[in-house]
Amino acid sequence: MAFRQSLDRAVKVFSSRRLHTVAPPTSVSQIMTRDVLSVYPSQSFAEAVGLMANRPFRHVLVIHPNGRLAGVISDRDLLRVMGATTDWKEKKVSDVMTQDVATVNPETPLSVAVREMLARRVNCLPVLYDENKQVCGIVTSTDLLNAFEKLQASVEKQSR
């Protein structure tokens, strides 16, 4: 009888834990930042500096007026340009942005996005709707770490 009670209790505990298990995110669309602040290639570099200085993010997408991706400016780009030249206030965003940018789409598996970021040594990937380069978001290393933290917390909770 004691064995049966122990078995029933174990089944209840296991069942209750399984009910609280959340499926981990598997695609970029589940973790990406959709509300993206952007600049135009024709804007002044000084405007981009001011924008980033007053916000908690490290990347700004550069988007043409038609919504197509033109490039990315990172905090490292800011430091590089400001440290290398004294006339940085005269430059345009198009002069300093990274143009050859790796991108993903919303359905890209997270493992592929992570692999791409590691291979290119970057901390963000613009998310594009289609081959026309229409921007729908950005996935950053912070987005990935937030997802990992939630997953890890869930695993740790289950193991208690």
Residue 122 above 60 pLDDT? Answer: yes
- Residue spans per domain, the chain: 25-158
d(CA 73, CA 136): 17
The pLDDT value given to residue 154: 84
Cβ(52)–Cβ(60) below 8 Å: yes
The pLDDT value given to residue 126: 97
Homologous superfamily (CATH) for 25-158: CBS-domain (3.10.580.10)
22 band by pLDDT with thresholds 50, 70 and 90: low
Q: What's the rounded mean pLDDT across residues 105-129?
A: 95
Residue 19 above 80 pLDDT? Answer: no
**Residue in the structure block whose two tokens are 């007026």:** 65
Cβ(64)–Cβ(40) below 8 Å: yes
Sign of CA dihedral 149, 151, 155, 160: positive
Predicted TM-score (pTM) of this structure = 0.80
Q: What's the rounded mean pLDDT across residues 13-24?
A: 55
The pLDDT value given to residue 62: 97
The pLDDT value given to residue 156: 87
Sign of CA dihedral 145, 150, 153, 154: negative
